């Protein structure tokens, strides 16, 4: 029936239009680290899938509208690869984020502290790797992340404690409460000589805005928490997109069958 071919063409026009911003933002994201997205494990895979989807949609438009069997066959092959890659990423993201993570609330504040061992081993390895972490630190320093997003210098300790800080800010931009440092401003804390804390992050802290707590284990945990939050926020979209691609693949199979019968 013609309806499956026409529907395939229309669906792929929609897919092509959607793939344009996906590829565009994928390219931009690989060139910059805007918005503090310093740890994005799916940045390159997302761009590759976006390019495949764009190429696939062009074959789908031509094959659906012109009813050319070999183009439709090529389209189905590319579509299968895209579906397989997308489904693999969906499953992978689900299992990587199954461990709840989360932070421990600091009594009397809007802050949380995060521990690295609360996350899956695979994702821990991404930040434990020295080469990877060096890139992440460079991103945080280059973007002047903490000074630009933390409350202003004139903020009192009382007001600062009321602030609900994002995981990265709470973990990378201030020392752990265990350290017992004296507050001067959100990114400047005075160390105490008689501090009895055994937390290695206390020694790693430095008021230099290029150091702060970027060498702390808590900073690595905060980055993972931020990443997992963003992944979970996108889970519904990824699920709907997967279902939509499966629908398009089913329509493409019908269109291919109709085209073969015609020829």
pLDDT per 10-residue tile (average), the chain, 263 residues: 71 83 68 54 70 82 76 84 84 76 82 89 88 88 80 83 89 91 91 78 92 94 87 78 85 76 55
Both 65 and 111 in one domain: the answer is no
For the chain, report the end-to-end CA distance as a whole number of angstroms: 13
**Confidence (pLDDT) at 29:** 57
Domain identity same for 154 and 111:
yes
Residues forming a β-bridge with 162:
none
List, in sequence order, every residue forming a beta bridge with 189; answer none if it has no partner.
183
181 and 212 share a domain? yes
- Count of domains forming the chain: 2
Question: Do 85 and 110 reside in the same domain of the chain?
Answer: no
Does residue 117 share a domain with residue 41?
Answer: no
Shared domain check, 90 and 17: yes
- Verify that 9 and 86 share a domain, yes or no: yes
Does residue 220 sit in the same domain as residue 241?
no
Helix-helix angle 235-262:2-31, to 10 degrees: 140
d(CA 171, CA 214): 9
Rounded CA-CA distance 106/179 in Å is 13
- Written as six digits, the tokens of 235 are 């889970």
State the pLDDT at residue 42: 60
Q: Tokens standing for 222?
A: 């905060």
pLDDT of residue 36: 44
Q: What is the pTM of this model?
A: 0.76
Taking the C-alpha atoms of residue 222 and residue 167, their distance in angstroms, rounded to an integer, is 5
pLDDT of residue 49: 75
Cα torsion 144, 176, 119, 90: sign: negative
Q: Which domain holds residue 142?
A: 104-226
Q: Please say whether the beta carbons of 246 and 86 come within 8 A.
A: no
pLDDT at residue number 172: 93
Question: 145 and 198 share a domain?
Answer: yes
Q: Which residues pair with 112 in a beta bridge?
A: 105
Cα within 13 Å of Cα(179), Cβ side? 22
- Residue pair 48/23 in contact (Cβ under 8 Å)? The answer is no
Look at residue 35 in the predicted model and tell me its pLDDT.
Answer: 39
Q: Mark 164-188 as b/e (b = at least 16 C-beta within 10 Å).
A: ebbbbbbbbbbbbbebebebebbbe
pLDDT number for residue 212? 94
Does one domain contain both 89 and 165? no
- Pairwise CA distance, residues 41 & 6, whole Å: 38
CA–CA distance, 139 with 135 (Å, rounded to integer): 6
Query: Directed axis angle between helix 235-262 and helix 69-96, to 10°?
Result: 160
**In the prediction, which pLDDT does 39 show?**
65
62 shares a domain with 13 = yes
Give the pair of three-digit tokens for residue 81: 């690869």
Do 95 and 116 fall into the same domain? no
């Amino acid at each position: 029936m013609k309806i499956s071919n026409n529907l395939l063409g229309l669906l792929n026009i929609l897919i092509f239009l959607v793939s344009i911003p996906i590829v565009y933002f994928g390219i931009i994201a690989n060139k910059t680290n805007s918005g503090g997205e310093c740890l994005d494990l799916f940045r390159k895979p997302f761009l590759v899938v976006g390019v495949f989807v764009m190429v696939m949609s062009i074959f789908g438009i031509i094959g659906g509208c012109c009813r050319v069997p070999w183009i439709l066959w090529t389209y189905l092959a590319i579509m299968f690869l895209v579906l397989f890659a997308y489904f693999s990423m969906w499953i992978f993201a689900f299992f990587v984020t199954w461990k709840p993570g989360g932070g421990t609330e600091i009594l009397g504040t809007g802050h949380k502290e995060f521990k690295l061992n609360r996350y899956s081993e695979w994702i821990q390895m991404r930040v434990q790797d020295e080469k990877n972490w060096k890139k992440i630190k460079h991103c945080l320093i280059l973007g002047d992340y903490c000074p630009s997003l933390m409350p202003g210098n004139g903020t009192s300790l009382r007001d600062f404690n009321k602030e609900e800080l994002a995981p990265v800010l709470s973990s990378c931009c201030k020392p752990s409460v265990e350290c017992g440092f004296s507050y001067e401003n959100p990114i400047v804390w005075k160390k105490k000589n008689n501090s009895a804390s055994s937390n290695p992050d206390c020694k790693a802290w430095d008021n230099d805005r290029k150091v702060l707590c970027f060498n702390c284990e808590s900073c690595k945990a905060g980055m993972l928490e931020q990443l997992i939050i963003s992944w979970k926020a996108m889970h519904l979209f990824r699920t709907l997109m997967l279902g939509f691609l499966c629908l398009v693949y089913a329509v493409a199979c019908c269109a291919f069958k109709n085209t073969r019968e015609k020829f």
